[in-house]
Homo-oligomer: A and B are copies of this chain.
């Protein structure tokens, strides 16, 4: 799918979102994460042994919900097939780190070997559902 320009602009304005995955017991799990949107992929940098990474490897699905900070609280929920990526993740990881640091430019990308050495992986959501979106347009 393609994310509409107004939703894309809203998503890019937000610093963090709430990631939801399904645990082994079928119950939802949530946590607050930084992210970067590249094309129709949401990129989240995490560690391979985190519950969110294991949930995604087991279920292949994740959802990210973003909202503004003041009434009427505009929001967007982006969801889709998700996977844990370990190869060619330097630039994407740097893009997320740049957002965490609030930098104008992302830091220099690290090699896959360096990232693997600290257990860092990229959780990638291939967005194919957007909604509900409120008060954006």
Contact surface of A with B, Cβ cutoff 8 Å: 15-16, 18, 20-22, 26-32, 59, 61-65, 67, 69, 71, 73, 75, 77, 79, 102, 132, 134
Contacts and interface: CB of A to CB of B under 8 A. Distances in A.
Contact of A27 (B32, B61, B65): B61
Contacts of A73: 15-16, 32
A21 to B, nearest CB: 7
Nearest to A22: B28
A68 to B, nearest CB: 9
14 contacts: A15-B73, A18-B67, A20-B20, A20-B30, A21-B28, A22-B22, A26-B26, A28-B61, A28-B62, A28-B79, A29-B63, A29-B79, A31-B65, A31-B77
A47 to B, nearest CB: 13
B28 A20 contact: yes
B26 A65 contact: no
Contacts of A28: 20-22, 28, 61-63, 79
B65 A30 contact: yes
B32 A134 contact: yes
B30 A22 contact: no
Contacts of A16: 67, 73
Contacts of A79: 27-30
Contacts of A102: 71
